A and B are shown apart, each in its own frame.
Chain A
Amino acid sequence: MNNDEILKQIESNDKVEKDIEVKEELFYRYLVFWIGEQKFALPAEEVHEILTYNEIYFVPFVPPYIRGYANRHGQPYTVFDLQMLFENSGIEGSHLLILKVPNDQIALLISDVDEIVKVPDSKIYSLTSQDETSQYFSGAVNVEETEIFVLGVSKILERLESDIERS
């Protein structure tokens, strides 16, 4: 190759990167994590932070799937154990997902973090049926041929509100 050709090659490399950059805008980020043996996902915008296990302090008069409070930056965070909510059996849980819920402090107890994935729009699904099991999910994403449910935080919070009202 002569110099001109080499230069052209270099320029086209740059373009390829730009194209990729453009395509990136159509992707959405999801945080994938484990609760027990199950994988779930949350849109990355809904998660503030991941903490490695904090101590959880018991809170009375709350439903069993609220494990208690975690102390983060001097504020009490309500900790949800979703396996307790879904299956009536609690997890050991070593990490906390601090959620971005406006006007409240909510955390999820999880077993482990898997990865943060970029999912194209085409692989994001919303739910077709609303039955008992899927009432807490807002949809699903397809990652490497596996379907992972996306949690609907607002629905979970609604459940807690109604349980508290009834008690």
Chain B
Amino acid sequence: MEGGNNYFKEKLIFTSEKSSEQVPLFNLHKFLIKLFRFNSNVESQLVILTPLTLLSEETLSYLKEGPLLELENCRRIGIRISSETIIKQIPLNELQPHSRILRSKLKKSGFPATHPLEGSMGYLINLDKLLAGNEGRR
């Protein structure tokens, strides 16, 4: 699935006296709902803003050819995430690598590790890889 364009349907526009900035939004919330086949209609109310400089060359060039194509003066990208978000410190020893046989595939797709807890399974996301839509590329 071409993760990129389907989920880049919105953008924020900031205007000020001096300039206007267009920030494309990636709907990670919808993306994850679709990917994990959750049965949920809940919309996301939360957006994280990230400067483009934090993205890798590869991802940037991919985005510039796609969703970022006609955007002028674009310094940041927005990520829509679930409203039920918490910020937490996790010690590294709580993170586990994926089962070896699945490891490379999941890493390439942007899920480098798991966070298994009593009664739940967490997935670590590498946003850079995810945005690049590597999982859909052959």
Contact = CB atoms under 8 A, between A and B. Distances in A.
Interface of B: 35-37, 96, 98-102, 104-106, 109, 111, 114, 116-121, 135
Contacts of A66: 102
A69 interface: yes
Contacts of A59: 102, 106
Nearest to A74: B116
B96 A157 contact: no
Contacts of A75: 96, 116
B109 A105 contact: no
Contact of A71 (B37, B98, B104, B121): B121
Nearest to B136: A61
Contacts of A78: 99, 101-102
Contacts of B100: 103-105
Contacts of B116: 69, 71, 74-76
A131 to B, nearest CB: 25
Nearest to B109: A61
B118 to A, nearest CB: 8
Given A69-B114, A69-B121, A75-B116, A60 B109 contact: yes
Interface residues of A, number: 24
A27 interface: no
Given A58-B37, A69-B114, A106 B119 contact: no
Nearest to B98: A76
A105 B99 contact: yes
B35 A60 contact: yes
Interface in A147-163: 157, 160-161
21 contacts: A59-B102, A59-B106, A60-B109, A61-B135, A62-B102, A62-B105, A69-B99, A69-B116, A71-B116, A71-B120, A71-B121, A75-B116, A78-B99, A78-B102, A104-B101, A157-B101, A160-B101, A164-B101, A164-B102, A164-B104, A164-B105
B123 to A, nearest CB: 8
Nearest to B116: A71
